[in-house]
A and B are shown apart, each in its own frame.
Chain A
Amino acid sequence: MKSLLRVVLLSSALISSFASAVEFKQVQANESTVTFGYKQMGVPMEGKFAKFTAQTSFDPAKLAKAQARIDIDLASIDTGSEEANDEVVGKPWFNAKAFPNAGFVSTGVKALGGNRYEATGKLTIKGKTLDVSAPFTFQANGTRGLFDGVFTIKRLDYNIGEGVWADVSTVANEIQIKFHLVLIAAPNKK
């Protein structure tokens, strides 16, 4: 019995020491994507942001220390049509001249069981900051960590699409934001 306990303790110590030995930090920009989905006249549409930067550090064994910061270059948007790309950087939408970036800063990460987690944080778009929470999955594949998540925002909460565009029967209020981040593990210095 005692020896069994010792094995359990030892192996869990090993596992946690292994886990804390890697921290997923370096975002692979060319493999990571931030995409979004919305409905326009009932038609599902997809778009993406070509340019964004992310600083994250994630160690599943030390969730309290997990951090993420993502900045999206709004002018890099691809809504799927050129006409719309020109439109959405304009004043009624993102007003990208005055607010070139959208930013997410995490305030906490909690485990939901298995490989599922939830990040909470502040999302700032067009000068407005609101709390959001984004469930995501994390998979470590050797030194590669894959983060996949999706959350929904309401565009009108951020005044995205003002004036005539505020009509949500044409462009739906709900915008699903999907992220797929590939991070490379860096050995922990400590």
Chain B
Amino acid sequence: MNSSILRYNNTAMALHWLVALLIFAAFPLGVYMHDLPLSPTKLQYYSYHKWIGITILLLVITRVVWRFTHTPPPLPASTPRWEVVVSHITHLALYGLLLAIPLSGWLMSSAKGFQTVWFGVLPLPDLVEKNKELGQLLATVHQGLNVFLFLLVGMHIAAVIKHKFIDHDQILERMLPKGMSK
């Protein structure tokens, strides 16, 4: 039974879980750092947040490329039509947000006059000039997109829980390595 599950391949799984892990780091860090009084710690956290965020951007670009060049395993034939549609929309929106959020962060940093230097080593170009109003606008955009992300990740996890504990199907296992599921 177990071996008959159609799983995502290793690359897709690795990318999925790595990005998930990094979002669970970047998101709370972003919320927390924002209200800290100015201190070396705050400057460090901002940098870490930006480094993690850019890493997510690169990984998500890789995921999108993977997705365009591979066909994911088909959903079980029994999946209701509405679930297929909703899951596709959710996944598409998640990809979109995971590109738009780090991009808005990068542009916001440039507009605020703080260049992004990935891991303190690789300087990313400032795609917009320093501009206070634009910086504030992009901060609001970044924040707003994150609210959406929060909701969609919530939905995503709720769906997993539904499949696992209500439907008792093996949707979660599709994204888990063989040894990790019963």
Interface residues of A (CB under 8 A from B): 40-45, 80-81, 83-84, 87, 164-165, 167, 170-171
Contact = CB atoms under 8 A, between A and B. Distances in A.
A40 B40 CA distance: 9
B120 A42 contact: yes
DSSP class of A's interface residues: helix, strand, loop or mixed? mixed
Contact of A41 (B38, B39, B44, B130): B44
B113 to A, nearest CB: 5
Contacts, number: 41
Interface residues of B, number: 18
B39 A43 contact: no
Nearest to A80: B113
Given A41-B120, A42-B120, A42-B121, A81 B40 contact: no
Nearest to A88: B38
B43 A170 contact: yes
B38 to A, nearest CB: 5
A171 B43 contact: yes
A170 B115 contact: no
Chain A to chain B: the 3 pairs with minimum beta-carbon distance, closest first: A42-B120, A170-B40, A41-B47
A166 to B, nearest CB: 9
B112 interface: yes
A170 B114 contact: no
